[in-house]
A and B are shown apart, each in its own frame.
Chain A
C-alpha cells in the first residue's frame, strides 16, 4: 500500500476530537514522518460534526486529498460526512456498543472494526479514555508501533499526574490488543518510522513565533476565529521577553492600543479576521497618515458579515488593498505556507519600520489552523534580521530640527522616509495626527504642503518597490506554456496537484505569489505562457483581477468558495479540464 496514510477522527464538538487528533499527529511527527493536518469544524462548542484529519507520509505532504484510509467514527454522522473520501479497503473504527452506533452499517467494500472503546477505556481506568483506546486500535490497523504514542500521551497528560499518563498508555494498548487478537482482518497499511527530526505547528503559531523572533513586544487583540491562536500563542510567551499581550475590549481598541505602543517605540501587532478588519479600518488610515509602523494580521475566514466563521475563504483581498476612505499607502504581504507565515511576519515588521507604514499580513483559515511538519531549521533563528529603519536618537536629533529647534517627524526626504523618535527622547517632542499636516506634524490645509505630504507617503511605497525583493516561488516545469498562479494557502494543494498533473501528462509552471501589494511584475511570465489560470478561494477572483490589470490580459480562473480548501487531487482535475478546454478551442 502507499506510503501515504490518510487518517481521521470525527465526532461531535466536545468529544475531544482535536486533542485526540493532535496526539496522533504529534506521535507521527516524533516518529520522523511528515504530517499535514486539517480540521472540519462548525462554529459551536458542543454538538455538531467536527473532525481532525491527518495525512502522513515519509515524504513531505503539502495538502489534503480526497481520500481516507482509516477513520475513527465516534458518531454515525462521521461516516456519512466522509463517505465520498472512503474507498475500498478503508477501515472504520467505531464502538458498536454505543447506543447511537448500534445500527451503523458499514459499506460492504470497507472494513468495519467494531471496538468496544468505552468498556476497554473503563478497564483502563475511565470511560473518558475511549478516544485513546481508538488511537491504539488505529496504531494496530496502520502498523504503527504503539510506543510512538507514549511521548505524545505524556506531553498531553503529564500535568494531570503520572497515574493518568499510565492509564492512557494502558488504554491505547487495550485498543491495540483488541484489534490484534479479536479481529481477523488483514490490513495493508504500513506506517514506517524514520530518524528524521520534525516539529509540528500551524500557521497562527508560526505567525506568533515570527512576531517574537522579530522583536514584537506588544500585542493587543480581540478574540475571533481563526486569528485567536496568534493571541493564545503569544500569551505567556511574549512576557518572557519583556512584552505584553492585552485583550482589548474590541478591535477598535486593539488597533489603537497597538498604535500607541508603536508610537512609544515598541514593535507592535494586532491580529483579527475580516469583521475585525472592518472595525479597524478607520484607524488604519490614521496609522498610515501618522506614519506609524504597525503590523495588522488578517486571518481570513468566509464572509461577508459574520459569514461562515469556521470556513475557508480568501475574500478580503479587496478590503485589504482598498479598504479605508481616502488613499492609504500600505503593504499587503501574504505568506503561502506555514513556514512562510513565520518568515513573512518577520519581514512585515521590517517593512513596517523601514517605511513607517502599516503592513497587512494576510493569512487564511486553511493556513492558520492547519498543522504541518518542518525540520526545525526551517525556522533558523540565526537567519532572522531586524531592520528598524530611521530611528533618531538624542545624538542625531539636532540634524532633524528646524531653525527653531523643532523636530520634524514628517520631513520630506528623497526616499519618503523621515526620521523617527519616541517619547522619552530629548529634543524630539512633536505631534502626529490623522489630519493633513506639515513637516512638524501640525494641521494644515495649505495646498502645496498637502501635495508634498501625500507625495512623500506615496514615495515610501515607490522606494520600497525598488529596494525590496518582491519575488515569488516557482514550482513545476519552468518551460511549460501552462501557467498557474495562486496566493495564500493554495500553494500546498497546487504543489501536490503538479504531481497528479504530471502523471496524467499535463506539464505546468506554477507560481505562488506571497506579495499582494506591492507584488512581483509577472507580465513576462504571463506573456511567455499560452494559457494562464489563477487559483483562489473566493467567488469573484480578486487576485485574478489584479493579474489581469497588471498584464493587460485575460486569465482563466479556478475559484472555490464553498468554505472548504482546495484538495490536491480535485484541483489537479479542475486545472486539467481548464487547460484542455483551451486546447479544444484552439483545435
Chain B
C-alpha cells in the first residue's frame, strides 16, 4: 500500500456509459476519493457490484472487482472479506438490486456486521430496465409498470437497517460531493458494516426525485443537534417521513465486527501443499 495514492488511481480507462448527468458519476467519484483518502490502493481493494446501471460501477473503477448477479453482491463481499480480512471490501448496488431482489441479503448483511462498506445508489427507479417502479419509488409514482403508481408505501432502507441492528447507517446526496465523500469515508473507517444510502438521481426515468428536489429539501444532520451515537435520535430521523436527511444517522461506537469477533485476521489463500500435518487425527476421531 503506498501513501501517494490518488483517487484517479481508482479510475479505469473505460468511459462510463451512464447517461450524461446521471447521479452515479458523483456517487462513484466520492467512493474513489473516500477509498484513496482512507489509504487504500486498487490492489488491496475488492469492489463487488450487483446488476443495474449502478452495478456497472466496477467496470469504471480500477481495483479487484466482481460484477455479480442481480441482488447478490453482499454475500460475495462477505465471503471475500472473511476469506481475507486484510482487504478493503466495498459493495455497491441500486435500490432495486439491494432492497428488492437482494432485500433478504441486505437485512442479514446488516445484522452480520462484517467490516465492509455498502453503498446503494438510490434513484427510486429501475434504470437499466428502462423505468419500472423500484422498492423506494413513491406510492403514486407513475411508471411503465405502475401507471397509477405502485400503490404501496416505499421501503425505508434506513429503518430496515436500524431494525436489523445496523451499526453504521448513513445517507448522502451524490451531487454534494464533499459531504458524500466524507460520509463514505466514515463508513469505510467504521468497525463493522458501513451502510450508506445515496440519493443518486436518474435523469432519464425519474422526473420527481430530481437534483432540484433533493437540493431543495435535503437537511444536513451535521448542521443540526443530531447525535449519531444516540439511538433515539437516529430512530426519530429515520422515521421522519417528511424529510430527506444527509449525514451519519446512526453509529454504534461499541460495534465489534463479525470478522474480529470470529478471530479472523489471516488470508485463507495460503494452504499447505498436502493435507494438514495432524490430519490423521481427523480420521482417528471416527474410532
Contact B79 A258 (CB under 8 A): yes
Task: Give the contact stretch, choosing among B63-71, B131-139, B206-214, B228-236.
Answer: B63-71
- A258–B75 Cα gap in the complex (Å)? 8
- A435–B272 Cα gap in the complex (Å)? 34
A412 CB-CB contact with B under 8 Å: no
Residue among B67, B83, B275, B287 making CB contact with A384, cutoff 8 Å = B275
- A427–B59 Cα gap in the complex (Å)? 17
Contact A260 B64 (CB under 8 A): no
Contact A283 B274 (CB under 8 A): no
Q: 17 A-B residue contacts at CB 8 Å?
A: A244-B262, A249-B108, A256-B76, A260-B76, A264-B80, A264-B268, A265-B269, A283-B68, A381-B282, A382-B275, A386-B271, A404-B13, A423-B87, A429-B64, A431-B65, A432-B66, A443-B59
A196-214 at interface with B (beta carbon < 8 Å): 199-201, 205, 209, 212-214
Task: Give the contact stretch, choosing among A157-165, A235-243, A493-501.
Answer: A235-243
Residue among B59, B65, B67, B84 making CB contact with A264, cutoff 8 Å = B84
Q: How far is the CB of A465 from chain B (nearest CB, A)?
A: 26
Q: Which residues of B contact A386 (CB under 8 A)?
A: 271-274
1/0 per residue, CB under 8 A from A, across B91-134: the answer is: 00000000000001101100000000000000000000000000
Complex: chain B residue closest to A243, CB-CB: B268
Contact B276 A213 (CB under 8 A): yes
Contact B275 A201 (CB under 8 A): no
Contact A290 B66 (CB under 8 A): yes
Task: Give the contact stretch, choosing among B44-52, B174-182, B216-224.
Answer: B44-52
- A435–B128 Cα gap in the complex (Å)? 14
B166 CB-CB contact with A under 8 Å: no
A424 CB-CB contact with B under 8 Å: yes
A365 CB-CB contact with B under 8 Å: no
Complex: chain B residue closest to A260, CB-CB: B79
Known: A213-B282, A260-B48. A428 touches B79 (CB 8 A): no
1/0 per residue, CB under 8 A from B, across A476-489: the answer is: 00000000000000
Complex: chain A residue closest to B72, CB-CB: A256
Q: How far is the CB of B182 from chain A (nearest CB, A)?
A: 25
Complex: chain B residue closest to A213, CB-CB: B275
Q: Which 5 A-B pairs have the closest CB atoms?
A: A260-B79, A265-B269, A215-B271, A257-B79, A266-B268
Complex: chain A residue closest to B285, CB-CB: A199
B194 CB-CB contact with A under 8 Å: no
Residue among A248, A282, A442 making CB contact with B69, cutoff 8 Å = A282
Q: How far is the CB of A553 from chain B (nearest CB, A)?
A: 41
Residue in A29, A237, A425, A429 whose Cβ sees the most chain B Cβ within 10 Å:
A429
B42 CB-CB contact with A under 8 Å: yes
Complex: chain A residue closest to B14, CB-CB: A442
Residue among B45, B46, B67 making CB contact with A433, cutoff 8 Å = B67
Q: Which residues of B contact A244 (CB under 8 A)?
A: 82, 262, 264, 268
Residue among A217, A422, A426, A428 making CB contact with B271, cutoff 8 Å = A217
Interface residue tally of chain B, by bracket? 35 or more
Contact A430 B65 (CB under 8 A): yes
Q: Which residues of B contact A29 (CB under 8 A)?
A: 287
- A271–B78 Cα gap in the complex (Å)? 18
Complex: chain B residue closest to A199, CB-CB: B286
- A431–B48 Cα gap in the complex (Å)? 9
A118 CB-CB contact with B under 8 Å: no
Complex: chain A residue closest to B264, CB-CB: A244
Contact A424 B72 (CB under 8 A): no
Q: Which residues of B contact A385 (CB under 8 A)?
A: 274
Contact B275 A250 (CB under 8 A): no
A263 CB-CB contact with B under 8 Å: yes
Contact A249 B58 (CB under 8 A): no
Complex: chain A residue closest to B56, CB-CB: A443
B8 CB-CB contact with A under 8 Å: no
Q: Which residues of B contact A520 (CB under 8 A)?
A: none
Question: B residues within 8 Å of A by Cβ?
Answer: 13-14, 42-48, 58-59, 62-69, 72-84, 86-87, 104-105, 107-108, 262, 264, 266-269, 271-276, 279-280, 282-284, 286-287
A434 CB-CB contact with B under 8 Å: yes
Q: How far is the CB of B178 from chain A (nearest CB, A)?
A: 27
Residue among B43, B80, B276, B286 making CB contact with A263, cutoff 8 Å = B80
Contact B43 A427 (CB under 8 A): yes
Q: How far is the CB of B125 from chain A (nearest CB, A)?
A: 22
Contact B275 A264 (CB under 8 A): no
Q: Which residues of A contact B267 (CB under 8 A)?
A: 264-266, 422, 424
A252 CB-CB contact with B under 8 Å: yes
Q: Which residues of B contact A217 (CB under 8 A)?
A: 83, 268, 271
Known: A256-B76, A429-B63. A424 touches B286 (CB 8 A): no
- A200–B286 Cα gap in the complex (Å)? 5
Contact B82 A376 (CB under 8 A): no
Contact B75 A260 (CB under 8 A): yes
Q: How far is the CB of B258 from chain A (nearest CB, A)?
A: 9
- A261–B82 Cα gap in the complex (Å)? 7
Q: Give the number of chain A interface residues (Cβ < 8 Å).
A: 68
Q: A218-B83, A268-B79 are in contact. List 8 more A-B contacts (CB 8 A).
A: A215-B272, A237-B282, A243-B268, A260-B76, A261-B268, A267-B268, A381-B275, A381-B276
Known: A286-B68, A381-B283, A431-B59. A253 touches B43 (CB 8 A): no
- A443–B67 Cα gap in the complex (Å)? 10
Q: Which residues of A contact B78 (CB under 8 A)?
A: 246, 257, 260
- A244–B48 Cα gap in the complex (Å)? 21
A220 CB-CB contact with B under 8 Å: yes
- A205–B285 Cα gap in the complex (Å)? 11
Q: Which residues of A contact B79 (CB under 8 A)?
A: 218, 220, 246, 256-264, 268
Contact A431 B268 (CB under 8 A): no
Contact A423 B64 (CB under 8 A): yes
A30 CB-CB contact with B under 8 Å: yes
- A433–B48 Cα gap in the complex (Å)? 10
Contact A266 B284 (CB under 8 A): no
Contact A265 B279 (CB under 8 A): no
Contact B43 A423 (CB under 8 A): yes
Complex: chain A residue closest to B105, CB-CB: A253
Q: Which residues of A contact B75 (CB under 8 A)?
A: 220, 248, 252-254, 256-257, 260
Q: How far is the CB of B280 from chain A (nearest CB, A)?
A: 5
- A244–B212 Cα gap in the complex (Å)? 48
Contact B283 A199 (CB under 8 A): yes
Contact A241 B264 (CB under 8 A): no
Q: How far is the CB of A473 from chain B (nearest CB, A)?
A: 22
Q: How far is the CB of A541 from chain B (nearest CB, A)?
A: 33
Complex: chain A residue closest to B262, CB-CB: A244
- A256–B48 Cα gap in the complex (Å)? 11
Known: A253-B75, A264-B268, A386-B274. A429 touches B43 (CB 8 A): yes
- A257–B76 Cα gap in the complex (Å)? 5
Residue in B68, B76, B81, B287 whose Cβ sees the most chain A Cβ within 10 Å:
B76
Contact A218 B268 (CB under 8 A): yes
Contact A434 B69 (CB under 8 A): yes
A48-93 at interface with B (beta carbon < 8 Å): none
- A243–B84 Cα gap in the complex (Å)? 11
Residue in B58, B86, B269, B280 whose Cβ sees the most chain A Cβ within 10 Å:
B269
Q: Which residues of B contact A237 (CB under 8 A)?
A: 282
Q: Which residues of B contact A257 (CB under 8 A)?
A: 75-76, 78-79, 82
- A195–B286 Cα gap in the complex (Å)? 17
Contact B87 A424 (CB under 8 A): yes
Q: How far is the CB of A234 from chain B (nearest CB, A)?
A: 11
- A428–B66 Cα gap in the complex (Å)? 14
Q: Which residues of A contact B280 (CB under 8 A)?
A: 376, 379, 381
Contact A423 B286 (CB under 8 A): no
- A571–B245 Cα gap in the complex (Å)? 71
